[in-house]
Structure 1
Amino acid sequence: MNVTRERAAAVLAGNWLGASTVPSRGLYPHQWSWDSAFIAFGLRHLSPGRARRELRTLFAAQWPDGRVPHIVFDPATPPEAYFPGPSFWHAGRTSGLVQPPVHARAALAVHKADPDREFLATLYPKLVAWHDYLRTCRDAGGRGLVAIVHPWESGMDNSPAWDEALAHVPLATGFVRRDLQHGEAGDRPSDDDYGRYVRLAAAYRDSGYTAAGDFVVEDPGFNALLADAELAMAEIAEELGLPAAGHREAAARVEKALEETLWDSAAGFFFARDVRTGSLIREHTCAGLLPLVLPDLAVAPALLATATGPRFRLGRVHGVPSYDLTAPGFDAGRYWRGPSWSNVGWLVRQGLLRHGEHALAASLGEDLVETAVRTGFAEYADPLTGAGHGTRSFSWTAALTLDLLSEGNCDNRGFAPEPPSGS
């Protein structure tokens, strides 16, 4: 194992709790849903057994209605270590929100690395229930698209795409933010944003986790990943000798609804849609690039043109900016308002490969590896300078670095880490 692999493996070992992996020891001391899926992609190259355990642990907390909670709380972690913690949610050892459904693709990848039919057979009905929940309980707009009821469900918490829909949400008060104990205030959501997040979460909790409240949005990233997950489910079904056509049909329905509802041909982009107003939210965020993961996407050439154009400059900056580089509100260091994230870069790279953009995919992969190692596996990075932001030793950054290195077409040098802040 070379130096880069050793560093990435050490991050995952340090964040391993015995049955699951925390995103980071300080800032995120529990198990997060889509984090665990991305972590499994990397763990499969180190220990397929641990990768399977990661996903099994997450799905052991699945709700009876099929939802996979966005946080599974570690009982050994002090309650005051994270807010909002288990006492806030009134849901036992989990939260009541969800995150994007990347789990089927992760399960298939783990199986391919080390075939285990029993693992697939155990997870398959849980994945079916998860997708059924999203399709039936979350189709708030009636167009065949999943609606998120909280910005946290997008995985892109304080994206500028949510500002308009959040503007009328009152601020909660009387809570203590724990995240600022582990991160720079300039890298984190504002106090006003956080106050609205807490108010929305409390209202959804108080409805019994059934009633959509003041925030109901169809997110192109979430729905693209659901369509891709159904394509993965078709492959899983075939591995198990089960009918696969229904999964491919489900993927096609979501893809069709995406293009009919969220695609703007004049802009060459997928925008989120506010279900309450019926209007598209015309903010160019990285979520609008994620439909590239769909191999039959008819509008892929136009979307690729936007990705490589001035708004994202794919191939000419570090990673994939989370927000429009030309927008007045672009912030290279604040959470999802500009910085590049390794998971988005990894997903966009998958999309490039599926649409034959191999040179651009190779360049992006090499940059993701170099930036991850140089920044100490930072949570996110400045797309213009490559400087690290957020917490360090972040699990999915390390895991996806391992996955990129395993393909053998990313530069595999031992990169020098960036100097400590202020040096």
Structure 2
Amino acid sequence: MTDFLEDARRVLAANDRGGYTVPTDRLYPFQWNWDSAFVAMGFATYDVPRAYRELERLIEGQWADGMIPHIVFHAPSDTYFPGADVWRTSHDIPTSGITQPPVFGMALKKVHDAAINSGLEDARGRSLVLYEAALRWHRWWYAARDPNATGLVALLHPWESGSDNSPAWDIALARVPTTTETIVMRKDIGHVHAAMRPRDVDYHRFIHLVDVYATCEWNPARQWSAAPFKVAEAQTTSILLKSGEALLDLAHQFGRTSDAKELEAFNRRSRRALLAQWRPHLRRFVSRDLISGTDIDAPTQACFCPLLALDLQPAIREAAIEEMELWSEGLTVLFPSTQPNYPGFEAKRYWRGPVWAIVNWLLIDGLRRNGAIEMAEKLRHSAVEAIERNGFAEYFDPLTGEGCGGLGFSWTAASYIVLSNSGEWPTV
């Protein structure tokens, strides 16, 4: 009988590069921000010191202004584009110039709790260092990406969402020119079939944005003014709020009264703003295009991520769950990253339809928070079964269940470790 849990741990061991974990070999040969946060939570179930190390290696790349970049280039590799030379950032450790969803705070709370429960020596000391880094990043989000104090934080590049080429960006991204100063030399389609990856036109727009912000010398205020792509995003704000709740809990544990008051204010602001993004006629939450001033109502997984951080009124909760159930009808694997009957849906193309175990993980936590245990269990069972049938793939075709993208993928392995335990956090 296959020991899938042990296989998952072997995937993480194979992708270990000395205290940090690459998502998968060759396709993603560096340390990615939100990938590592999920991986740390997986490690926390059986190796707490290694979980701490994952987060500690990530903050080696933290900028002086508090931003934690989406890629830390600890060691050189020629199997990925764009590399450090394209980003043109100026830090002791080469990094990208943009960020990613702030799962870090959520991960730190899980790691800290596991450390305390296991009696690990110096748990408080190690957690405090990471807490300070997380708080600086939290402050950066609200200062750099919500300068008007709306409560919704903005993305200036689709890659910052983690959902790189989601249909949610189609209209906003179409306004970005395809001209680039940088020669676009894609490496991804040498590792994965092009039908599973973003299109060339998208890549040119992605790199155009990198060029624009590099010209701004990565100064947040200059970037905000120059940005041709600016989206106040529901998924990222939800994750920020959930991490804000985790940091607030830690602030109380560490006796940081002034930090707690600051975090409470941030959390109130984002909670109020997210609730205002509910659209009853759509039965989902929406993001906002800050350049056009219009809603982004493309039906993607982001529309349900506010469940992660909000305690919803019964009418809203039931409507959202009914919509999720409608999207799930007839699928082999749940939960799709785009509504299956939407024109932009593509079952195998990156973030335009496939199922991601980490998305299920977030949605499961949100559904449980809101008392939707049956739907949460459907998503948990579906993700676990897909992995056991088709391996630790980057993502899965919701129609066929086929594993797609990179293989031997770290955050899929971490997801399995957590979700296979009936979704309950294991006791360390």
- Structure 1 distance, partners of 2:423, 2:163, is 30
1:252 to 2:287 alignment: no
Deviation at 1:407, TM superposition (A): 4.6
Deviation at 1:263, TM superposition (A): 2.2
Q: Which deviations, in whole Å up to 9, do the C-alpha atoms of 1:19-43 show, x marking residues without a partner?
A: 2000001100000000000101111
2:281 aligned residue:
266
1:162 to 2:169 alignment: yes
1:328 aligned residue:
343
The counterpart of 1:202, out of the listed 211, 226, 238, is: 211
- Structure 2 distance, partners of 1:208, 1:306, is 43
The counterpart of 2:134, out of the listed 101, 106, 127, is: 127
Structure 2 letter corresponding to 1:200: L
- Structure 1 distance, partners of 2:129, 2:63, is 16
| Pair 1:315–1:245, CA change in 2 (3 A) | farther
| Pair 1:256–1:318, CA change in 2 (3 A) | same
Deviation at 1:374, TM superposition (A): 1.9
- Structure 2 distance, partners of 1:408, 1:271, is 28
2:322 aligned residue:
305
Structure 2 letter corresponding to 1:85: G
Q: Which runs of 5+ in 1 are unaligned?
A: 411-423
- Structure 1 distance, partners of 2:147, 2:236, is 14
| Pair 1:104–1:408, CA change in 2 (3 A) | closer
Mapping for residues 113-192 of structure 1, pairs under 5 Å: 113-115=114-116, 116-139=123-146, 142-172=149-179, 174-192=183-201
- Structure 2 distance, partners of 1:133, 1:6, is 38
Deviation at 1:249, TM superposition (A): 3.5
- Structure 2 distance, partners of 1:249, 1:120, is 23
| Pair 1:316–1:180, CA change in 2 (3 A) | closer
1:230 to 2:230 alignment: no
Deviation at 1:252, TM superposition (A): 2.2
1:32 to 2:32 alignment: yes
- The alignment's C-alpha RMSD in Å is 1.8
1:421 aligned residue:
none
2:20 aligned residue:
20
1:86 to 2:84 alignment: yes
- Structure 1 distance, partners of 2:67, 2:284, is 29
- Structure 1 distance, partners of 2:328, 2:357, is 16
| Pair 1:85–1:384, CA change in 2 (3 A) | same
Contact 1:307–1:313 (CA under 8 A) maintained in structure 2: yes
Deviation at 1:248, TM superposition (A): 3.3
- Structure 2 distance, partners of 1:90, 1:334, is 29
Deviation at 1:138, TM superposition (A): 0.7
Deviation at 1:313, TM superposition (A): 1.7
- Structure 2 distance, partners of 1:408, 1:190, is 35
Contact 1:73–1:86 (CA under 8 A) maintained in structure 2: yes
Contact 1:292–1:348 (CA under 8 A) maintained in structure 2: yes
- Structure 2 distance, partners of 1:381, 1:408, is 20
- Structure 2 distance, partners of 1:236, 1:317, is 40
2:232 aligned residue:
218
- Structure 2 distance, partners of 1:314, 1:113, is 37
1:193 to 2:202 alignment: yes
1:387 aligned residue:
402
Deviation at 1:275, TM superposition (A): 0.3
2:352 aligned residue:
337
Deviation at 1:228, TM superposition (A): 0.7
Contact 1:362–1:409 (CA under 8 A) maintained in structure 2: no
Q: Which moved more, 1:353-362 or 1:385-394?
A: 353-362
| Pair 1:409–1:146, CA change in 2 (3 A) | closer
Secondary structure of the structure 2 residue equivalent to 1:60? helix
Contact 2:163–2:351 (CA under 8 A) maintained in structure 1: yes
Report sequence identity in percent: 41
Structure 1 letter corresponding to 2:291: R
Structure 2 letter corresponding to 1:66: G
Q: Which deviations, in whole Å up to 9, do the C-alpha atoms of 1:115-136 show, x marking residues without a partner?
A: 2111221111111110100001
Mapping for residues 279-294 of structure 1, pairs under 5 Å: 279-294=294-309
Q: Which runs of 5+ in 2 are unaligned?
A: 117-122
Secondary structure of the structure 2 residue equivalent to 1:114? helix
Contact 1:120–1:236 (CA under 8 A) maintained in structure 2: no
Deviation at 1:267, TM superposition (A): 1.2
Deviation at 1:2, TM superposition (A): 7.0
Structure 1 letter corresponding to 2:20: S
Deviation at 1:295, TM superposition (A): 4.2
- Structure 1 distance, partners of 2:149, 2:253, is 33
Contact 2:151–2:271 (CA under 8 A) maintained in structure 1: no
Matched residue count: 405
TM-score by length of 1: 0.92
